[in-house]
Amino acid sequence: MIDCYLLDGHIYHEKIRYCNFKYIIENTTCNLELLNSIPSEVIILILDEYSRKLSRNKNMLKIEGVAYLSFFLRKANIEKLIELNIGNKKYLDDFVDKGKGKFVKAQGRGISCHWVAGNVYTLAIYSVVQSIIAKNFNIARIPEQSLQMVLKLLECMENIEVNYMGKSYSSIDILKNICIIYFNSKDEDLNREMSHIADSRIIWGGQYAVEHISLLPKKTTCKDIIFGPKYSFAVFDSDILECDSCEKYMDRLVLDIVLFGQKACSSPQVLFVEKSNKTLNYIVKMLESSFEKIGVKHKNILDEGQCTKIINERGFYSLSLDKDICCSRGMEYTILINNDIKLEEPVGGRCIFVKEIDSIFNLEALITRRIQTVGFAIKDENKIFKFADLVTKAGVDRVINIGNMNDYDCPWDGYLMINELVRWCNLNMNF
């Protein structure tokens, strides 16, 4: 069964149930026509007001990631996003004259089906909003544990009215093009049906989920956008470690670690520090101090399995002669120190591995296309560009200054998502 929570502009906290997708897609055509009749500028203005409602709602701001989401949805940022993706927002509304009788327009692909991971509540909003900008109808399967939070976020989009060129527009017309559902991930029939109706499949998740959904039958014209399992780490160069403001960089790193419970693909799992005149013990103590200062402002919510994993790692490091450990009395943070220059399997729960290296440029050998984000604290700008070029050639998608590793930006995982969700259509009147 499909549990439906948002359909045709109505949010249902008490689910309505369907056996298949037939009823859900009945109004797709008329709702898409409605969306296509809305000027892109109006969509931008509605999203801008949505961002302001989020930023004024103290309860919403308590949800991790909502503060940045509200910034992401601001008019200036959305306009930059559209410019980066397609150049000119006019392409979303009209055929644009390219000269010599040639006109080009970006048309939405149709129905975007989103399989959303449950590690970050705001993920569904980022995914759906960009598809709305590209003027697609959206069906988003949300994990059960995330549903109520996603619905609360979308409730803030209700009752927004904007005036443009003498006409009034309502956010309900945006919500009519978003359908929020849940069904058991093991339901093969529903996964197949959802895949079959998709003109684009946006897949967020771990290796099993990505592989499973990717192999489902689909239209030959369907576009896949896959955000699979990724790994991220951080680097500090010697100049930063030796400067007076190093503590501020450590505070920013800890913020990257504690956000989203270290479950996001962009969360750092390892800190590599370049050899400097500061001892590794000194650097670890500085990191510990930042955890004590920054970490207490954010609850560290762990389940039993996560606690067991951390306790096992702590025990292993405490008994090892060639390793060291620095941790809180409780489960607030764990710093694991060793000299093995490798990417450790994530433990999570504010568990960070620290390793000293001769040069940050020696990390090239560790890079694969599995690496999503490298957070950096590097003082010299030329060194930043040289390092970024090195690691992105090797496979890294994002090289981000410390403190911003979890900020959703564009491109993400190598995709310009809005551009991926449109078809570039050509009109030629050159007689």
Q: Domain for residue 168, yes or no? A: yes
**Residue 235: predicted pLDDT:** 98
State whether 145 and 294 are in the same domain.
Answer: no
State whether 293 and 379 are in the same domain.
Answer: yes
State whether 148 and 240 are in the same domain.
Answer: no
Q: Domain for residue 56, yes or no? A: yes
**Residue 75: predicted pLDDT:** 97
Q: Which domain holds residue 338?
A: 231-401
**Residue 240: predicted pLDDT:** 97
Cα distances from 82 to residues 49, 54, 63, 398, in angstroms, run 18, 22, 27, 19
Structure tokens at 215: 């192999």
Per-residue pLDDT of the chain (431 residues; tens, 9 = 90+): 999 999 999 999 889 999 999 999 998 989 999 999 999 999 999 999 999 999 999 999 988 899 999 999 999 999 999 999 999 999 999 999 999 899 999 999 999 999 999 888 999 999 999 999 999 999 999 999 999 999 999 999 999 999 999 999 999 999 999 999 999 999 999 999 999 999 999 999 999 999 999 999 999 999 999 999 999 999 999 999 999 999 999 999 999 999 888 989 999 999 999 999 999 999 999 999 999 998 777 777 788 888 999 999 999 999 999 999 999 999 999 999 999 999 999 999 999 999 999 999 999 999 999 999 999 999 999 999 999 999 999 999 999 999 999 998 889 998 999 999 999 999 998 76
State whether 94 and 220 are in the same domain.
Answer: yes
State whether 331 and 259 are in the same domain.
Answer: yes
Region label for 135, one of left (φ > 0), alpha (ψ between -120 and 50) or beta (otherwise): left
Domains of the chain: total: 2
Model pTM?
Answer: 0.92
Burial class (CB in 10 A: 0-12, 13-18, 19+), 212: middle
State whether 169 and 261 are in the same domain.
Answer: no
CA–CA separation, 175 and 161 (whole Å):
13
Q: Domain for residue 108, yes or no? A: yes
Q: Domain for residue 139, yes or no? A: yes
State whether 184 and 252 are in the same domain.
Answer: no
Q: Domain for residue 360, yes or no? A: yes
Q: Which of 43, 65, 204 is nearest to 130 (CA)?
A: 43
Q: Domain for residue 406, yes or no? A: no
State whether 213 and 245 are in the same domain.
Answer: no
**Residue 431: predicted pLDDT:** 64
**Residue 278: predicted pLDDT:** 95
State whether 235 and 224 are in the same domain.
Answer: no
At residue 116, what is the residue type?
Answer: V
State whether 100 and 213 are in the same domain.
Answer: yes
8 A C-beta contact, residue 69 and residue 407: no
**Residue 299: predicted pLDDT:** 75
Q: Domain for residue 407, yes or no? A: no
State whether 377 and 289 are in the same domain.
Answer: yes
**Residue 378: predicted pLDDT:** 97
For residue 294, give the CATH number of its domain.
3.40.309.10
**Residue 409: predicted pLDDT:** 86
State whether 352 and 424 are in the same domain.
Answer: no
For residue 132, give the CATH number of its domain.
3.40.605.10
Q: Domain for residue 408, yes or no? A: no
